[in-house]
Chains A and B, each alone.
Chain A
Amino acid sequence: MNFLSLFVLLPLLTLAGLWLSKNLKQVHAVAVTGASALLVLTVYLTVDFLLQRAAGNTAEMLYTASVMWFEPLNIHYAVGVDGISVSMLLLTSIILFTGVFASWTIVDQAKEYYMWFLLLTLGVYGFFISIDLFTMFMFYEVALIPMYLLIGLWGSGGKEYAAMKLTLMLMGGSAFLMIGIIGIYLNSAPEGGELTMNLLEISKVLIPVDVQRWLFPLVFIGFGVLGAMFPFHTWSPDGHASAPTAVSMLHAGVLMKLGGYGCFRVAIYLMPEAANELAWIFLTLTGISVVYGAFGAILQKDLKYINAYSSVSHCGLVLFAILMLNQTAMTGAIMQMLSHGLMTALFFALIGMIYGRTHTRNIDEMSGLMKVMPFLAVCYVIAGLASLGLPGLSGFVAEMTVFVGSWEHTDMFHRVFTVVACCSIVITAVYILRVVGKILYGEVENKHHLELSDAVWHERIPVVILIIVIAAIGMYPLLVSDMISDSLVSVIGQLAR
């Protein structure tokens, strides 16, 4: 029994526990226990990972294990983690933990809600620990489908449309992905021998370059859809706007990272030649995403839409940085994934809490909330500041790493796009401050809002935790950046082969 499999097992146990629980109290208890256990497990993993690395364990992946699953196709259940997966697992655990609290107010079919929620996280965990393409893809899809019901049942607004659109677009992406993965698999032994799905093994072989040339776009678009790459991002605003709070948190915070992680781990790692050759196409698209999302956010009126577009922009930066194909930019990309995950979760948590009180997300209908709910308002400002890249919070670290890394390229194309991406930090400031100014500052215009209360304990917990982590990464980035950066060596080696 591999240690990492606990990441699949624990959610499963929690699921079982939820299934058996009788009332809301038990549901909450089980959910919190499960989430805490996972959080503890992840922290333990992180510490142990760092210790092992410090002890000089330089294997590409640690805790690897592989169990034959489908023998005829040589498909394994194979797990293993490197620094990047560890950081993603950490992110997942944090957001799961906070998400459980953020869903506290859901009482209607709470059991089912938490079960789907856990299933979603199960998929995410599985995805991050897998090093077998098939397992990875399976968990990827496991993570997608609960979204439909989570949004459709517990969402708000045009939830049915949004849920359907989100599911279909993401599944559309995974159609590309599936054919890409099959393609990789079938070309994993160009010189004869057994075909394999194992990432590490495939990385050692050279997939014929002309095959790479068409597999790479497929895989990249496949994951790019989830990473909200322009023009495949439109599920994101509608989906996020309609989803319940914790689902938005988890989806924007973690699930969208699956896209970036996948692009990185599958598309670039396995097909470096094509990546070098074709990066420019996707660089253009993601570069557009970065500013497009930011500009798109400016005129939105719905808080969640603003944040969703902002996610498009930030996740665009993730893919953008990955496509820069150098160690610094990629480190930045992973850090941006972490950072965006945390702060967008924070944002969605706060928006959910505000919405729960004001019953509107239209920024024109709110004002002066700083007075009535100072805690939430201050946290919102902090989230905003993190989002616009304030030093000391995680966003800055990530963005700067990305920009410095991107600037390593000396040609005009990369330079221009780097500058364009840099511009996003200004636009981000515009829309963040606009919202902050509109809803938090000023006098309370809606008299009903004066009677609203500030956050209660189960709302404070997630918010505070997220802020602490954001600040921790922002203040002491070496905490994660070294871990990430070390793990990138193999990818960089791939790219240079």
Chain B
Amino acid sequence: MDFNSILTLLRPELSLLAIIIILLIYDLFAGVAAKKYFQPLAWVLMAAHTAWSFCLTPEGTLFGGMFATTQAASLVKAILSLATLIVFLQAGGALSKAESSFKTGEFYVLTLSTLFGMNIMISSGHFLMFYLGLETASIPLACLVAFDKYKQNSAEAAAKYILNAALSSGILVYGLSFIYGTCGTLYFANVPSMLDMTVLQVAGLVMFLAGMGFKISLVPFHMWTPDVYQGAPTSVTAYLSVVSKGAAAFALMTVLFKVFAPMAMVWQDLMYGIIILTITLANLFAIRQKDIKRFFAYSSISQAGYVVLGIMAGTAEGMTAMIYYILVYILSNLAAFGVISTVENHTGRVNIDQYNGLYSTNPRMAFVMMLALFSLGGIPPFAGFFSKFFIFTSAAASGYYVLVFIALVNTIISLYYYLLVVKAMFINKTDAPAPHFRSEKALVFSLAICVAGIILAGIASCLYGGIGEFTFGM
């Protein structure tokens, strides 16, 4: 191990750190006049970082196995930073308001710190690293959730989030202690050979699953999700629902594949039940939601169920499908959240009922929202269809036909509630539709990225093929 390899393999993390430091310093020392360039600077830096991240790092380990990265992992990192960039672009509107403009710096720094944490989590090679990454990814997020601190919902959401996060990480590390106790090591590379399915290992695995289940919000570890999503500022919700979730899902998959592979029997059975519960319950809850963010919370819970379906497959195809699914999910969900945040910013409307007649006044926004919803619902030719199809195929290929069937039945329920929103925007008549507004350029740009992604990510097969190439390397 030399300095060079640190620079190569750790490049995404280092560049993130660099951005964090630059922004922190800029925020601290910039004058009032220079403050207004803060956001553009952040976007540019982030864009550069994202672009650079897509030049994937090679596979390798650092620090004696503490840090282990693969092409797939670095691809996921790139995807996540893309998502973060989109979130940033969408957050601009809300952040430039008077009541929060002075906190802009903190927002960016904290978000990037959590992204850093996620990167660490994704390419950790040791449970300590994993734990640290996990905590870095979640604790600052609690601060972000409390970003609108004088809004009661925001404060309450933050409390719920931090309490749940702490509990779940407590349980997770308790589980890790069992793993450590029975294996004698926490290095990913060494654990598998020590696993022989003793009771404590099983318990440790379950506790680990629970901790990750919290992050991905799988039933029954999902209870915080709707409240937090509803209370948090919209950009943070978007970030929580896509980046945090995507990272956790991928990290979970990595660990399950890399470390708990000998116990696949156990976790596959558990995941089976968890997936069914997750998808079904989330869908049922989603049906009756009024608040659009809360609605999307449940929607994202059920989407998480589909994501982990890819883990079930336990194959390279499943992994490809899952990464692809995460990508598509990120794009679709961010498109939806972009619309939600701009609507909320300009009109203050957050209820689904208040979206009635949106199409008549803001056709573009309604249209983007519809695309996003269709994509989430798995309607072709939008990307969501492809990602669902692939993930189902990979799960079915491993023999989980019944599971796939249940998931499919659930897509119908999900389609129902997605259509409810579409209906509200397009069909429902109202006397007071949201007034027409012009969104910020950055947000429009971010939506354009998302829409392009939604439409092209499916049809342009090179994306899927590319992901496949990198994951097959694993």
Contacts and interface: CB of A to CB of B under 8 A. Distances in A.
Q: Do A and B come from one complex?
A: yes
Interface of A: 68-73, 75, 134, 137-139, 141-142, 145, 148-149, 152-153, 159-160, 163-164, 167-168, 171-172, 175-176, 178-179, 182-183, 185-186
B411 A171 contact: yes
Nearest to B395: A182
Given A70-B464, A72-B468, A142-B380, A164 B419 contact: yes
A152 B464 contact: no
B404 A182 contact: yes
B279 to A, nearest CB: 13
B380 A179 contact: no
A69 B396 contact: no
B21 interface: no
Contact of B416 (A139, A164, A183): A164
A178 B389 contact: yes
Contacts of B380: 138-139, 141-142
Contacts of A75: 461
Contacts of B390: 70, 73
Interface residues of B, number: 33
A154 to B, nearest CB: 10
B374 A145 contact: yes
Contacts of B412: 168, 171-172, 175
Interface stretch (B23-31, B227-235, B299-307, B420-428): B420-428
Contact of A73 (B381, B385, B393, B422): B393
A179 B408 contact: yes
B381 to A, nearest CB: 6
Contact of B427 (A142, A153, A186): A153
Given A152-B426, A179-B408, A171 B415 contact: yes
A134 B401 contact: no
Interface string B390-411: 1011001100010011001101
Contacts of B320: 72
B62 interface: no
B358 to A, nearest CB: 13
B352 to A, nearest CB: 15
Contact of A175 (B393, B411, B419, B426): B411
Query: A-side binding surface: helix, strand, loop or mixed?
Result: helix
A176 B416 CA distance: 17
A118 B390 CA distance: 27
A183 B389 CA distance: 12
A142 B385 CA distance: 10
A82 to B, nearest CB: 24
Nearest to A145: B379
30 contacts: A68-B461, A70-B386, A71-B465, A72-B320, A72-B465, A134-B389, A138-B381, A138-B385, A141-B385, A142-B379, A142-B380, A142-B381, A149-B422, A152-B423, A152-B426, A152-B427, A153-B426, A153-B427, A163-B427, A168-B412, A171-B411, A175-B411, A178-B392, A179-B392, A179-B404, A179-B408, A182-B392, A182-B396, A186-B393, A186-B397
CB-based closest 3 A-B pairs: A175-B408, A72-B468, A152-B427
B317 interface: yes
A149 B371 CA distance: 13
Contacts of A185: 393
Given A172-B409, A182-B404, 9 more contacts: A70-B465, A71-B468, A73-B317, A141-B379, A164-B419, A167-B419, A179-B401, A179-B405, A182-B392
A75 B468 CA distance: 14
Given A141-B385, A168-B415, A186-B396, A71 B461 contact: yes
A305 B252 CA distance: 53
B461 to A, nearest CB: 5
A163 B381 CA distance: 20
A325 B258 CA distance: 51
Nearest to A139: B380
Contacts of A137: 389
